[in-house]
Structure 1
Amino acid sequence: MKPQTFWQRLARAARDRSFIIGATLVVFFLLTAILGPEAAPYNPYLRDRVQTIDGELQRAPIPPGSLYPLGTDDQGRDMLSMLLHGARQTLVIAFVAMTVRLLLGLLLGTLAGWWPGSLFDRVVTGLIEFLAAIPGLILAILLVLAVGIKRGQISFIVALSLVGWGEVTQTVRGYVLTIRNKLYILAARALGLGSAQILSRHVLPNLLSTLLALAALEMGGVLLLLGELGFVHVFVGGGGIYTDDAVQMGHTVHYFDVPDWGAMLGTSWRYFRSLPWLPMAPALAFFVTVLGFNLFGYGLQRFIEKGRFHPSGWSLIRFFAVIALLLFGARTLLASTGIEAQYTDLARQFDVQRAWNDISYLTRPELEGRPTGPGPGFQAAGYIAYQFEQAGLTTLTNGTYYQSHDAVCGRVTLEPSLELLGQDGAARLRLDQGISFDPQRHFQAEGIREGKLVILGNPRSRTAISEIAVLLDDDGRHYQTVSANATLLRLTPDHDLARNDIAPTFDGIFGGLSFGSDYDNFSLAHLLIGETAARQLLAEAGLDLDELREALEAGERIDLETDIPVRVEVGLEYEELPGANVIGYFPGADRTTEGDRIVVAADYTGPSPKDGAIYPGADDNASGVAVMLEIARLWRDLGFEPKRTVVFAAFDERGGNYFVNHSPFSITPSDTWTTVFIQGVGAGEPRLARQEIGSGLALAFDQSARRFGAHTEELAEWHFFFTSEYGSGYVTSDESYSGLAVTRPGDDLSGRPGDSLEHLDPALLAEAGQAVAHYLMVLSSR
C-alpha cells in the first residue's frame, strides 16, 4: 500500500467536522490572545463610573451602543476591550499551567509506571489519592492565597499547575504500564539498553501522541477552573474594594484590576436577570473557548488513532525545544499583558512641554531662586497650589493646599577660610579650598577666631579646650566630647567637602542656639577639613597623618597641643521666617488600603541671592517639582484612580520634617507612608540614581525605568526628611516611613547660579518623568 503524504492525511482529517471546527476556534483564540490587546478600542485599566454620552450623564454599567458595542461594566470599563485584553491574560495563564501540568505528569507518570510497586510509585499514587479527596476549586484557592494573591499571574500559574496534574500522571502511568512489556521494549532490554536509554528512545516518544491530545483537553479543564476562581472573587492581583454610596449608603463593591474572563464573569453574573448583556460576553467566551479546545482535542485523538499523524517520530530534543519556545512566547505575552505593561503606554503620555513650562515659571528672575518666606517663596507656593487645583487634587482639612510652619533659613556672610600665622601674626599659609561648612552641623557665628592648633582623636570624655581643634575621627558623635567654645575641624576625604556658598540646613530648635559673647558671637563653629589640607597643617607641626591614623586604629587617645597659631574666618547666621508646604492628594479608591499612603515629594525653595547672584534652581529643584506637577496632571487627564492614597507635597525649608512631626492627615499607629522624593532629574548623566529605605522599592523602580530605556544605579548617600541626623535629637526617625529618592548625578551646575533653564535637557526630563510616573502608577495600584 502506497504511503500517504501529510497533505493527503490532512485532507482526510478535514472530513472530521468537529476537528475542523475545534481547530478553527483554537486558531481564532490564539490570534485573539496575540493581537487582541492591540485591537482594543479603549484602555481597560481606567475606571470611569460616571460618563457624559450624547449630552446625557450616565452611570455605569452602560448598556451596549455605538460607543460601547458590548457595554461597560460597573466601573465604566469597555467590555469589548476587557474581553480582548482578557483573552491574552486568560489563555496564556491557562496554557502555561497546562504545560506545567503535562510536564509534571509526564515525569512522575513515566517513572511511576516504569517501576510499578516501587517506593516512588507508592508515594506518587498515595499523593494523587490524597489530593483527589480535596475539591479542585478549594485546593486552587488555598494555593493562590499561599503563594500570595497580590503577586499576580505567578500565583495563579502555580495554583492551576498543581491542581490537576494527578490525572495526567495517572494517564501516563497507565500507558507506560501497557507498553513496558511490548516486544520492542523487551528486544531493547535484550540488546543491553538501560532504563534511561529505553525511556528516552522508545517510551517517551510514543507518549507524545497521547500528550498532544491530552493538552487540548487539559486546556478546557484549566479554563473552567480559572472561571470558577473568578466566580468566587479570586482575581489576578486580588482586586480591590470601594464604597459606592450612590447605590446604598455604605455599599461595598469588589472590583478587579487586571482583566481576565474569570474576573469579568465573577463580578457580573449577579446581573444576569436585570442586565443579561453584562455577563453574556465572558460567559460566551468561556463556553466557546472550552468547546473549541475539547473538539480539537477529541478530533486530534481520533486523527492520531487512525494513523494519520505520527508524532512518535519526533526526537525528544525537538519536542522539548518546541515546549521551551512556547513557554518563552507565553512569558513574553504575559509580560506585555500585565498592569505594568499597560501603565507603560499611559506613562508615555507624560507631557514634557508642560513640565518645561513649570520650570520656566519657577526660574523667573523675579522669583530670585524662590527663597523661603513672603515674596518670591510664597509666589512659587501659590503657583504650585494653583497647579494642584487644576489637577483636581483634594485639599487639606483647612480647605487649602497650604501647611504653614516656621522655617529657619541660613545665610553665609563670610565663606570659611583657614590661615597658618607666623610669629608676627601675618598669614603664611592660607587654605580656602581645603575647608568647608559641615552640612550636618549648623551654628551661628561671624568673625575671626585665632588660637593654637590642637589635634584630637578617640576622645573618651568631654575635653576642656577653647582652641581650634582638628578632630581626626570621621564620626560626628565626637562633637559632643569637646567644649562648646572650641572651633572644630572634622577630618573628611577631599571629595566629601561641602559647598561654602550654601548654609548648612538647620536641624534643631531656633531658640536653642547659643552665642558666646567672649568670642565675637562664635557658637561652636563646626567645619570640615579635607585630607590634603590636613596633611599640610600637620606637616607644619611635624606630624604625619598616616601615623596618627594607625594610632587611632590601635585605640590610642590623641590629644596633642601644638604651638602653631592658626586663624579661622567664617560668617554664618540664621533667621526664622514663615514657611509653607504645599500639599494635595488623590484619595485611594480601595478601602482595604486605608492608612497606607504614598507621598510624592520635592523641595521647591532655594537659597537667597548672595552678593547679587541668584540661584535659579532649574535642576535643583524646579525639575523635581515640575515632574511631580505633570504626574498629577497626567493622572487627571487619564482619569487614573490610585488604589492607595497618593499625597503630592512640595516642601519648604525643613518642611519635610514638619510634615512628619505635624501630619495634616488623621493618622493611626498602623499607618504606613511610602515616600518618593524627586530632585535634580533634568540635567547630568544619562542614568538615574536612586537610594531606598525599606525593601523592594529600588528594584521596582529599576523595572519601571528599564521600560523607557533608562539606566539606573545606586546612590551612595541620601538624607531623607523622615530620618534624623546623628547627634540631633530633635527629629526622630519614624519607622512607619519607607522611601525612595530619585535624582540624576553629574550636574555640576545644579544648585549654583548657572543652574538655569537653558542647561536642562528635555529628553532627560521626559525620561525621568515617564519612569517616575510609571513607578507611581504601579506602586499606587498594589
Structure 2
Amino acid sequence: MPDMIKTDTATAEQALVTSVPVDGAKPEKARSLWGDAWADLRRNPYFIISSVLIFFLLLISVFPGLFTSADPTKGDLVHHFLTKPELGQIGSPEWFGYDGQGRSVYARLIYGTRASIIVSVSVTLLVTVIGGITGMIAGYFGGLTDAIISRITDMFFGIPFLLGAMVVLQSFTKRTVMTVVFALAFLGWTQITRVMRGSVITVKQADYVHAAKALGAGTSRILIRHILPNAMAPVIVVSTIALGGYVAAEATLSYLGLGLASPAISWGVDISGGAQQIRVAQHILLYPSIMLSITVLAFIMLGEAVRNALDPKMR
C-alpha cells in the first residue's frame, strides 16, 4: 500500500513538472477555429497569390495616378484613332493602344478598376449586413418570425439575379455606381440569409448559449456576444466567393448598357465598345477582358482558400 501511494505521488509530481513551462517558456495558448484558420491560410499558396492580386487591385483603385498620368476621358482622334498597342513602352499611355475615340486603353483600364472594386465591395458589405441580420433573427427566434422571413426570402430568391437587376436599373434614368450597388444588393441578400439562418440554428443549441440564458443574459447580448461570432464562418466564406460574382455582374450589366454608361469608366463599358471594333482593333476588347478575368479569379481563389481554412472537413 505505501508503495502504491509513493508511485501515485511520483506520477502526480511528474505530471505537474511537465505541465509547468521550463526555461521561462510561455504556456501554449488554447487553439481556436480562427487561429487555426489563419495558420492554415498563411501556408496556402492560393491565399497568398490572391491576396497579392487583390492588394494590387485595391492600390490601383485608390491611387490610379500612381500607375498612369494619362486622362482616361480625353481622346485625340487625329493622332490616336484605333492606334495599335506598343507593348515595349510599359506603363505609357500607348502601352495597350487607343480606342475608337482616341482614348488610352491602358488609362481606362487603370481607372476602370475603381468602379469594379467599389461595386463589388459595397454590394458584399450590404448583402452581408442585411442577410446576416435577417438570417440571425429568423434562426434564433424561429416560429412565426422564421416563417415570415423565410417566405420573403424565397420570393426574392425565385427572381433571376441578373434579370431582376436589369428591371430595377431600368427604373433609374441616370445610372451611377450607387444605383448599380443598390440593384445588386436588392436581390443579393437572400443567399446570405439562408446560410446565416442555418448556422444560427446550429449554434443556438450549444451549451454556452443555454448557460448564458440561465445566467440571465439578454437577447441582444446572446446574439452579439455568443451566437454571431460562432455563426459567421460560413457567411464569410459565401461573401468572399460572391465578391467575384459581383464584379462580373457589374461588368455584364454595363456591357448590356443597363449598368454604368459613358462617361463613366468601367471594364464592361470598354468591353462593349471593343466588341463593336473587334474586326479592326481586337486590343480594345482583349485587355479589359483579361483584367476582368484576373479580378474575378483572384476573388474566387481567396474565397476557396477561406472556405478550406474555416471548414475542418476540408483539412
TM-score (norm 2): 0.80
Structure with greater strand share of residues: 1
Q: Which residue of 2 aligns with 1:51?
A: 78
In 1, Cα distance between equivalents of 2:189 and 2:273: 29
CA distance in 2, matches of 1:28, 1:144: 30
In 1, Cα distance between the equivalents of 2:35 and 2:136?
A: 33
Contact kept? 2:40, 2:309, Cα under 8 Å: no
1:302 equivalenced with 2:308 (yes/no): yes
Determine if contact 1:143/1:155 at 8 Å carries over to the other structure.
no
Q: Displacement of 1:106 after TM fit?
A: 0.7
**CA–CA separation in structure 2 for the residues paired with 1:140 and 1:211:** 23
Partner of 1:82: 108
**Quick check: 1:194 aligned with 2:218?**
yes
Instruction: Provide closer, same or farther for how the CA distance between residues 271 and 4 of structure 1 changes in structure 2, counting only shifts above 3 A.
Output: farther
Aligned position for 1:155: 179
User: Does residue 171 of structure 1 match 2:198?
Assistant: no
What per-residue deviation string (whole Å, max 9, x for no partner) do you get for residues 592-611 of structure 1? xxxxxxxxxxxxxxxxxxxx
| Amino acid paired to 1:41 | S
Q: Is the 8 A contact 1:264 1:279 kept in 2?
A: yes
1:14 matched to 2:39: no
Kindly indicate whether residue 84 of structure 2 is the aligned counterpart of residue 63 of structure 1.
yes
**Counterpart of 2:28 in structure 1: which amino acid?**
K
Name the counterpart of 1:32. 60
1:260 aligns with one of 258, 262, 266 = 266
Is the Cα–Cα contact under 8 Å of residues 119 and 246 in structure 2 kept in the other structure? no
Counterparts of 1:10 and 1:155 in 2: how far apart (Å)? 36
Alignment map for 1:553-702 (pairs within 5 Å): none
Query: Does residue 23 in structure 1 map to residue 51 in structure 2?
Result: yes
Shift of 1:184: 1.5
Does the Cα contact within 8 Å between 1:216 and 1:296 map onto a contact in 2? yes
| 1:55-84 deviation per Cα after TM superposition (whole angstroms, max 9, x unaligned) | xxx6x3222125511112222211111111
State the partner residue of 1:290: 296
Q: Judge conservation of contact 2:169–2:180 (CA < 8 Å) in 1.
A: yes
- Residues 233 and 267 in structure 1, CA contact (< 8 A), matched pair in contact too: no
Aligned to 1:95: 121
| SS of residue paired to 1:154 | helix
- Check conservation: 2:119, 2:247, Cα contact below 8 A: no
Aligned residues: 280
Report how far residue 110 of structure 1 moved. Answer: 0.5
The counterpart of 2:148, out of the listed 101, 114, 123, is 123
Give the number of the structure whose residues are more often helix, by fraction.
2
Q: Show the 5 A alignment for 1:272-671.
A: 272=278, 274-305=280-311
**Counterparts of 1:281 and 1:222 in 2: how far apart (Å)?**
20
**DSSP-derived class of the 1:192 partner:** coil
Query: How far apart in 1 are the matches of 2:250 and 2:29?
Result: 44
User: Structure 2 vs 1, CA of residues 158 and 10 (structure 1 numbering), >3 Å: closer, same or farther?
Assistant: closer
* 1:133 to 1:30, Cα distance in 2 relative to 1, 3 A: same
1:9/1:142 CA distance change after superposition, 3 Å = closer
State how far apart, in whole Å, the 2-side matches of 1:173 and 1:212 are. Answer: 14
Could you tell me whether the CA contact under 8 Å between 1:149 and 1:155 is conserved in 2?
Answer: no
CA distance in 2, matches of 1:10, 1:170: 26
How much does 1:301 deviate? 2.5
- Letter of the 1:61 partner, please give it: L
- Corresponding residue for 1:209? 233
Paired-residue identity, %: 24
Q: Name the CA shift for 1:45/1:167 in 2 (closer, same or farther; >3 Å).
A: same
Looking at structure 1, the residues matched to 161 and 290 of structure 2 have their Cα atoms a distance apart, in angstroms, of 23
CA distance in 2, matches of 1:163, 1:296: 23
The verdict on how the C-alpha distance between 1:12 and 1:160 changes in structure 2, with shifts beyond 3 A counting, is closer
What's 1:138 paired with?
A: 163
Superposition deviation, residue 39 in structure 1: 2.5
Measure how far apart 1:113 and its partner are. 0.9
| 1:120-158, Cα deviation, whole Å (9 max, x unpaired) | 322322222222222211211222232x24152221121
Deviation string for 1:598-642 (max 9, x for gaps)? xxxxxxxxxxxxxxxxxxxxxxxxxxxxxxxxxxxxxxxxxxxxx
Note if contact 2:161-2:188 (Cα within 8 Å) is conserved in structure 1: yes
Give the CA deviation at 1:306: 5.1
User: TM-score of the superposition, structure 1-length normalised?
Assistant: 0.34
Whether contact under 8 Å (2:37, 2:310) holds in the other structure is no
**Counterpart secondary structure, 2:275:** helix
> Aligned pair in 2 of structure 1 residues 306, 10: CA closer, same or farther (>3 Å)?
same
| 2: CA distance, partners of 1:235 / 1:12 | 39
Q: Give ranges in structure 2 of 5+ residues lacking alignment.
A: 1-26
Instruction: Return the alpha-carbon distance in structure 2 between the equivalents of residues 64 and 300 of structure 1.
Output: 38
Per the TM alignment, residue 91 of structure 1 is displaced from its structure 2 partner at its CA by: 0.5
CA RMSD of aligned residues (A): 2.6
Structure 2 CA distance for aligned equivalents of residues 40 and 95 of structure 1: 24
What is the CA-CA distance between 1:186 and the residue it aligns to? 1.7
Q: Whose radius of gyration is greater, 1 or 2?
A: 1
Are the counterparts in 2 of residues 234 and 263 from structure 1 also a CA contact under 8 Å?
A: no
Q: Which amino acid aligns with 1:284?
A: I
Letter in 2 for 1:69: W
Give the C-alpha shift of residue 304 in structure 1. Answer: 3.1
